[in-house]
Amino acid sequence: MESQSQYIGSNSGMDGVDQKEGKVANQRKAGTCESILRILAFMLTLTAAVVLGVSKQTEIVSVKILPTLPPIDVPATAKWHYLSAFVYFVVANAIACAYAAFSLVLLFANRGTKSSLGLVIIFLDQLMVALLFSCNGAAAAIGLMGYQGNSHVQWNKVCNVFGRFCNHAAAAIVLSLLASLVFMYLVGLAALGLHRRSK
């Protein structure tokens, strides 16, 4: 009877060790997945900021100075810092890119601990979601206006002239949108982890 109880005791102890090892392995797997997502967010925001930041297109456009004179051809350039929405877009993506790199450091500092640092990371991730979605909205609204124009406010489309610049802007917006979805997924993943632990 005594030996049986000893056996049961040792078996349950083994189970406890197995469970603990399984938990540690799961946490390690989740940490690796999170690191990969943060590296992805870093690359996406960096590429988005660079694609729009370095894009520049110069075209010759006809400008009518006086109604009685024929139009004259002048060179016009499209650059990101001519439009405040694009300035906000590049700056926001640069901030998110710097944060993605910094959050990797925070993640390693928080590994294996149950400190409040995890909560700080969730709040900052959430802030990045807000920042990136607002800059995507701003850039997309101006981009769409440049692509379609609007007769009600008499803003003519400009993408028929600066097509390459508009394509670069569209690509940058898609990249930034993907990055904001990654940050959103990270917040969701962290909430899921906390929910599982709280059960």
Report the interface residues with a copy of itself, using CB under 8 A: 67-68, 76, 78, 82-85, 88, 114, 116, 118-119, 122-123, 126, 129-131, 133-142, 144-146, 148, 150, 152-156, 158, 180, 184, 187-188, 190-192, 194-195, 197-199
| Beta carbon of residue 75, minimum distance to a copy of itself (angstroms, whole number) | 13
Q: Is 124 exposed, middle or buried (0-12, 13-18, 19+ CB in 10 A)?
A: middle
Q: Give CA separation, 109 vs 29, 106, 172, in Å.
A: 16, 5, 32
Minimum CB distance to a copy of itself smaller for 4 or for 116: 116
Minimum CB distance to a copy of itself smaller for 42 or for 86: 86
Minimum CB distance to a copy of itself smaller for 11 or for 150: 150
Collapsing DSSP to helix, strand or coil, 187 comes out as: helix
| Beta carbon of residue 104, minimum distance to a copy of itself (angstroms, whole number) | 20
Minimum CB distance to a copy of itself smaller for 2 or for 185: 185
Structure-token pair, residue 156:
């003519």
| Beta carbon of residue 43, minimum distance to a copy of itself (angstroms, whole number) | 21
Residue 56 bridge partners (DSSP): 79
Q: Is 154 exposed, middle or buried (0-12, 13-18, 19+ CB in 10 A)?
A: exposed
- How far does CA 19 lie from the centroid of its chain? 36
| Beta carbon of residue 124, minimum distance to a copy of itself (angstroms, whole number) | 11
